[in-house]
Amino acid sequence: MNYNAAYAAKRRSESQILDLISDGETVLTNGGPGLPNRFLQLLAQNATRYQNVRLCHPMRRETLPLEPELTAEANEGHIFHVSEFTFDKPVIEAVRAGRATYRPNHPSDSARFFPYEIDLLVVPASSMDRHGFFSLGAFGGWVMGFVSKARRLVLEVNSHQPRVLGPCQVHISKVEALFEANYPLSTISLAGMVPTSEEKAIAQHVAGVVLDGATLQAGVGQIPETMLKLLKEAGKKDLGVHSEAMFDSMADLYDAGVITNSRKTIHRNMFTFSLVVGSERIYSFIDDNPAAEMHDIAYVADPRVIARNHRPFSVNATIQIDLSGQCASETIGHQHYSGVGGQWSFHYGAALAEEGRAVITLSATGKGGSVSRIVPMLPMGSAVTISRNDIQYVATEFGIVNLKGTTLEERALLLISIAHPKFRDALERSAREDLKLLRRSTYAAAMPGVAAQ
């Protein structure tokens, strides 16, 4: 096969790409720094020419403006959004207004249980190599499982997309059409941002339970970022990475010799991940790097795979936790704030392993310190992201506790002990009088054998 000739034959203009969409069809795109931004920009400009097109995507992180806004009320009846992974402000507003919806699922199940026929799958890709293959770029692991399900695959070829090694590649023979775009990827950089005293305290507690040789997963945010930096200061050795996402700080720890991937049980000496989120630093680090492999998220976020790693360690954040250990990371009551990503999968997978450790973090208070984020019961309608049966470590700025295996009474006492001091008395009263959980005279009672181990 002459790959260059095949490329030329499948290359289309932007208007020809839009002609591939018909009324009533389902269009699926990638997201994050793998968002087909030029395609969605064109779709936004032409949305009203279509009727009842279902647009599914994991998240929006555009660098080219979508004007008019795709989720706007004017596009109702033309484009209906299904959010697959997490929410962005325009999508949140559309969900609350009924112009969009959210599909709850674990990322590892997203493609397997996708309920619609995919008429068109649009994915950004790196430039084609001499063997006719395209890397699916910075977010390729999320979308790889959909490739075999789509009737037609369209690539938005962008030289800014990194060429990531591993199985998240597609061959020119599998491509229906392609078009070329040229724009920078979205970036998230925490460099120069100073963590609050509360965030630093939480990160210190979390870093304190990381074992040498641990295989890390970390969510995005200031607390995981600070925790990763503290691992170097703490003198941790031979850490590995098997994570839903890769971040700048992981590359920094690799260069510093803290992350070596040398003690991993599977994919030894390799970073294993599905997504990349960060600055140009991490995009450059993974580009054509033999030590970094991107895999389908159905594999990376499978708890059975996670548990096979050496000392798997997971850290993620939640919005609220109740005194029985239930975590709400997606909603407060009926109000949606975010999708969940691989939080449960990595927490559960890490906790399954013999020396695994899974941590959920949250600041003890919210709304400027006026409310406790450790609550007697979750508000009615809250989505339980991690059940009380699955929860292991919980950390606030006031400490870290291990709830695994504890009774309802013991875990209530443990959680009250890491709540903000000004809310502890009220939590203790509620646990005793409303929930009937406590029989002890005070939450400060000694609990021999129940501590963060």
b/e map 240-270, b = 16+ CB within 10 Å: bbbbbbbbbbbbbbbeeebbbbebbeebeeb
Annotated catalytic residue 244: yes
DSSP letter, residue 434: I
pLDDT (0 to 100) of residue 224: 87
Distances (CA, A) of 364 to 70, 317, 319: 37, 12, 10
Of 225, 244, 293, 330, which one is the catalytic site residue? 244
Q: 394, 359 in Cβ contact below 8 A?
A: yes
pLDDT (0 to 100) of residue 222: 85
Name, in order, each residue with C-beta under 8 angstroms of 150's C-beta and a sequence gap of 6 or more.
28, 118, 119, 120, 121
Fold agreement between 3-181 and 197-434? yes
Domain ranges of the chain: 3-181, 197-434
pLDDT (0 to 100) of residue 449: 46
List the beta bridge partners of residue 216: 241, 313
Which tokens sit at 105?
Answer: 């699922």
Cα 284–Cα 180–Cα 68 angle in degrees, nearest 5: 100
Which listed CATH number (3.40.1080.10, 3.40.50.2300, 3.40.50.1780, 3.30.56.10) goes with 3-181? 3.40.1080.10
- Cα 425 from Cα 418, distance rounded (Å): 12
* Domain spanning 197-434, CATH class: alpha beta
Burial group, residue 194, by CB count within 10 angstroms (0-12, 13-18, 19+): exposed
Q: What is the pTM of this model?
A: 0.93
Residue by residue, pLDDT tens for the chain (453 residues) are 899 999 999 999 999 999 999 999 999 999 999 999 999 999 999 999 999 999 999 999 999 999 999 999 999 999 999 998 877 889 989 988 999 999 999 999 999 999 999 999 999 999 999 999 999 999 999 999 999 999 999 999 999 999 999 999 999 999 999 999 999 999 987 666 788 999 999 999 999 999 999 999 997 778 888 998 899 999 999 999 999 999 999 999 999 999 999 999 999 999 999 999 999 999 999 999 999 999 999 999 999 999 999 999 999 999 999 999 999 999 899 888 888 889 999 999 999 999 999 999 999 999 999 999 999 999 999 999 999 999 999 999 999 999 999 999 999 999 999 999 999 999 999 999 988 888 755 444 445 444 444
The rounded radius of gyration (Å) of the Cα atoms in the chain is: 23
Helix or strand or coil: residue 80? strand
pLDDT (0 to 100) of residue 451: 45
